[in-house]
Amino acid sequence: MDALVLSLVELGKMPEVWLGSHTVRSHGVKVARIHLQDWIILLLLIVIDVILNIIEPFHRFVGQGMMTDLTYPLKPNTVPVWTVPILAGILPLASFFVYYCYRKDIYDFHHAMLGLLFSLLITGVITDAIKDAVGRPRPNFFWRCFPDGNEQAFDPVSKNVICHGDAAVVKEGYKSFPSGHTSWSFAGLTYLAWYISGKLKVFDRRGHIAKLCVVLLPVLIATLVGISRVDDYWHHWTDVFAGALIGTTVAACCYLQSFPYPNDAEGWAPHAFFEMIAERKSQAAGRRANSIRKRGSTDVEAAFMPFDSEMETPASRSSQGTSLD
């Protein structure tokens, strides 16, 4: 086996021979234990994001003259909230699982999944923290504040708006910047685009532009989600732009933590996979060196065996005994 491994190393086929030998059943627990602290941090990020959604955001000053830009109609979401986790989370995870079923590489599946979850949760924490801190009114803030459209109220001293709409609806009205739909969509779908570009080897300089079209499809979906937020008057265009920037940046950082750049020769697999390959190479080379040393010592002993056996033959012993008699 060592000889086979070393010959494959010399031929440059080492990575392929190990594909399919590291599954969830054989190495899943081991890989998860190595990254146990990462999974704990993910749980902490979930708790932080829940808290950020519970607390009351900053209520930015809204004077009577400012209401002109905040009187857009309060429409239902074209892209409902429940569809965002499907697009940004379940769709990429399903893609990772399909590739795992094809390659049977737990290193790729685990690191892709871990990176995606970090991308989504880090983006969520950043987005919700900024939302609470900025407290920017949505374009449809007027109808949240005054559902009947008539009874407007402002503080006589501060001139700030006094809302009499539903408290939860008004609270959501102060969370315009940045767009959560957009940031989450770009965090998940841009991560998927990075992943696909590495697997398809888009930047292999062979001019297959069709591969690039496949990679850009998730980005297009995220872009359309962002545009829908402006069309529904839930966000200003700057909210969407900021959300896209946050999601794209975090996705790139999280992907490159585990995978090489897609234009790299080894961009099709995670760093951990090639670290495992290097370790196997080192172990195989060490075993071969020990085997050579053992064979070398055996050959030296064998070189002296004829002399020793000749001295110890029965004939020699009998001749020695005859001479003594």
Say whether 110 is catalytic. no
The number of residues making up the chain comes to: 325
Q: Which two tokens stand for residue 107?
A: 């290193």
* Unique residue bearing structure tokens 């002993």: 301
Q: What are the backbone angles phi and psi of residue 265, rounded to the nearest 5°?
A: -60, -25
Cβ atoms 262, 198 nearer than 8 A: yes
- CA-CA distance, 109 to 179, in Å (whole number)? 29
What is the rounded radius of gyration, in angstroms, for the C-alpha atoms of the chain? 33
Q: Which is catalytic among the residues 22, 110, 111, 235?
A: 235
- CA-CA distance, 254 to 118, in Å (whole number)? 7
Say whether 271 is catalytic. no
Q: Which two tokens stand for residue 124?
A: 């969520």
**Residues 6 or more apart from 18 whose CB is under 8 A from it?**
273, 276, 277, 280
Helical spans, DSSP H, in 19-86: 24-34, 36-54, 83-85
Q: Is 290 exposed, middle or buried (0-12, 13-18, 19+ CB in 10 A)?
A: exposed
- Characterise 267 by phi-psi region: left (phi > 0), alpha (psi -120 to 50), beta (else): alpha
- CA-CA distance, 214 to 224, in Å (whole number)? 16
Q: Which is catalytic among the residues 181, 208, 236, 271?
A: 181
Q: Which residues are the active-site residues?
A: 181, 235
